[in-house]
Chains A and B, each alone.
Chain A
Amino acid sequence: MSGLGPALLNSLEMGLLLFVIAVGLNIVFGVLNIINFAHGALYMLGAYLAYTLMSLAGLSFWVALIIAPLGVAAIAVVIDRLMLRFIYHRDVADSLLLTFAILLIIAESIRSIFGSNIQAVYPPDALQGTVRLLGGSYPVYSLFVIFSGLVILAGLWYLFNRTRVGKIMRAAALDRDMAEALCINTRMVVTGVFAFGAWLAGVGGVIAAPMRTIDPGMGDKIIIESFIVVVIGGLGSFPGALLGALILGAIYGFGGRYFPEFNLLLPFLGMALVLLFKPTGLMGKGANA
């Protein structure tokens, strides 16, 4: 089977990129009980900020990788304090509606500033070119994407399991009232978690910028993909986001080889099957919803 290696690497690359984005969605849902429809728009914002910094301000990719996600996080703080705080106590449906409105606002602002054309940024010199690997030639940048995904995976694991901040986040996710009773400033946790989720979306956007096209429709595509990932893995579950992302990555990487006709259908089919038989997702805990 020639070409199996590249398909595997493609799956891994796609899967880990999806993980970086979807895990932010899941952390926000886990702690805030909000489905952030605007998460894809924040990802797009990261990509456009990177484009602005690199193509218009002439900064390097590495500078953009640091600054752009922080910019996205800063905007998320504003969104949280200005808008989301009004609906935290309401139904999840309301959060879907409000974040959908935020999606429209961000996406249309971007469209009116940058236009509908496709923009492109290029990987830094050190990450250009290809290498021969597993029986195929493979872009160096893709290896960087896989590497970045693994670094973020390790970093998140460390954050949640080994640091005080991570434990506070987990406590707030489990029982916000109890956490408050233990003198944790949950309002700050809420804002911080939302900004952190946005930061992850921004990182995903910057990493994706040189490999995917930058256009005002990119947020719509990724949010549906992220929904598929978190639903398959389990809403609010950290390992679930990884598993779901790897599964969707594999569907993209291998589905085109073996079931080209069903390639577009498979992700939704997988999502529906998981919801039907285990609504809390493959890694989700608890009884049926």
Chain B
Amino acid sequence: MKQNILIGVMLVAIALLIALPWYAPFFYIFIFTEILILGLFAVSFNLIFGYTGMLSFGHAAYFGMGAYTTAMLLLHQDWPFVYTLFAAMALSGLLALVIGFLCVRLSEVYFAMLTLAFGMMVFTIAHSWRDVTNGSDGIAGFRIKEFGLGLDLTIGNPTVYYHVTLVVVGIAAVILYIISRSSFGMILKAIRQNPERVSFCGLNIRTYRLASFTIGGIFAGLAGALIAPFLRVASPELMHWSMSAEPVLMSILGGTGYFLGPFVGAAMFVLLETWITSFTESWMLFLGIVLALMVMFFRKGVLGTFLDWWMNKND
């Protein structure tokens, strides 16, 4: 019964998202494009953090890598947009594979610190290698000439770009959901709960951790590839550690235990930011207080706390 209600809520939410441009103010098309992109970024992070139990503090490196890949391919090669998405996923995945290979051997704090170091190395390279990345200005002035797949879409129109983002993020979310529910996903969860025991079962933990890390990197790259045309720039800030902190915050806000938790967290993050900054500048102060309360008392996040309460009610 409750399962059916949840599925119903999901369907209504999807319908509302598809129909958004026809009922919401124009401004909210931008807000929801951002929520979808950052939501995908946060979900890709949560595969590593919430499922596999590794706190990565350098996830923005792959996000930024995706953004730079798309921006540079559009600027220099005039690639169709869809192909740049695949290229961004491939390169971000490769970067995550290399960095992950070095990082997954470490546990807990050391893992967090090493991913932070690599993330900041990538940031520094993007910031300093002026000939290729154009330094702190970033890559701008690119244009989507062609969408690809034989479709003739005017990406410059925010409504069209919102729907493109919705479809791409939707497909990516379904793929990630299937991965998280597969036996592979179950093993990741088991690794978080008890790595020794999984190891005793004859599974190579490092391989699974690396696979999780790489998949997270691939989809962070996809999110980054979507943010570049949205912001019209790919700049080093996208790779800074403070950007790596955002999916962490979103996952904690929404809840790391449920697949959609980070999406809910991203929506809360962006909407609260929009509303609170409209009457006070100290939005980050508010965020800090909420985050502290969540970590201390509601570690399951908003979605997790609500669902657990609701599912156990009257049972």
| B282–A271 CB distance below 8 A | no
Q: Which candidate, A102-110, A133-141, A179-187, is the interface stretch facing chain B?
A: A102-110
Task: Answer yes or no: A59 CB below 8 A from chain B CBs.
Answer: no
A271 with B109, Cβ < 8 A, contacts A87-B295, A101-B291, A104-B287 known:
no
Complex: chain B residue closest to A98, CB-CB: B295
Q: CB-CB < 8 A to B106: which residues of A?
A: 275, 279, 289
| A96–B112 CB distance below 8 A | yes
Q: Which of A128-187 contact B (CB under 8 A)?
A: none
| A108–B117 CB distance below 8 A | no
| B124–A231 CB distance below 8 A | no
Complex: chain B residue closest to A271, CB-CB: B117
A272 with B252, Cβ < 8 A, contacts A104-B285, A108-B288 known:
no
Q: CB-CB < 8 A to A93: which residues of B?
A: 55, 108, 112
**Total number of residue pairs linking A and B with CB closer than 8 Å:** 107
Q: CB-CB < 8 A to A235: which residues of B?
A: 109-110
Q: CB-CB < 8 A to B242: which residues of A?
A: 220
- In angstroms, Cα B11 to Cα A279, docked, is 48
> Within the complex, what minimum Cβ distance (angstroms) separates A251 from chain B?
13
Q: Mark A88-118, 1 if CB is under 8 A from B, else 0.
A: 0001111011101111110111011000000
A111 with B282, Cβ < 8 A, contacts A93-B55, A275-B106 known:
yes
Identify which of A94, A105, A269, A279 contacts B289 (C-beta below 8 A).
A105
Identify which of A97, A103, A268 contacts B248 (C-beta below 8 A).
A97
> Within the complex, what minimum Cβ distance (angstroms) separates A114 from chain B?
12
Task: Answer yes or no: B233 CB below 8 A from chain A CBs.
Answer: no
- In angstroms, Cα B285 to Cα A98, docked, is 14
Q: Which of A216-243 contact B (CB under 8 A)?
A: 220, 224, 227-228, 231, 235
Q: CB-CB < 8 A to B248: which residues of A?
A: 97, 100
- In angstroms, Cα B110 to Cα A271, docked, is 11
> Within the complex, what minimum Cβ distance (angstroms) separates A45 from chain B?
14
A272 with B114, Cβ < 8 A, contacts A103-B288, A224-B241 known:
yes
- In angstroms, Cα B281 to Cα A112, docked, is 8
Task: Answer yes or no: A264 CB below 8 A from chain B CBs.
Answer: yes
- In angstroms, Cα B299 to Cα A93, docked, is 12
Q: CB-CB < 8 A to B299: which residues of A?
A: 94
Task: Answer yes or no: B178 CB below 8 A from chain A CBs.
Answer: no
A275 with B110, Cβ < 8 A, contacts A107-B284, A224-B120, A264-B128 known:
yes
| A98–B292 CB distance below 8 A | yes
Task: Answer yes or no: A35 CB below 8 A from chain B CBs.
Answer: yes
Identify which of A83, A228, A268, A279 contacts B110 (C-beta below 8 A).
A279
Task: Answer yes or no: B121 CB below 8 A from chain A CBs.
Answer: yes
> Within the complex, what minimum Cβ distance (angstroms) separates B239 from chain A?
12
Q: Which of A191-223 contact B (CB under 8 A)?
A: 220
Task: Answer yes or no: A125 CB below 8 A from chain B CBs.
Answer: no
Q: Which of B112, B116, B125, B281 has the most CB of A within 10 A?
A: B116
- In angstroms, Cα B14 to Cα A215, docked, is 44
Provide a sorted-by-A list of 25 A–B residue pairs whose CB atoms are within 8 angstroms: A83-B292, A83-B296, A87-B295, A87-B296, A92-B108, A96-B55, A101-B292, A102-B288, A104-B288, A109-B282, A111-B284, A224-B120, A228-B117, A231-B113, A264-B124, A264-B128, A268-B117, A268-B121, A269-B121, A271-B113, A271-B114, A271-B117, A272-B114, A272-B121, A275-B106
A interface residue numbers (CB < 8 A to B): 35, 83, 86-87, 91-94, 96-98, 100-105, 107-109, 111-112, 220, 224, 227-228, 231, 235, 261, 264-265, 268-269, 271-272, 275-276, 279, 289
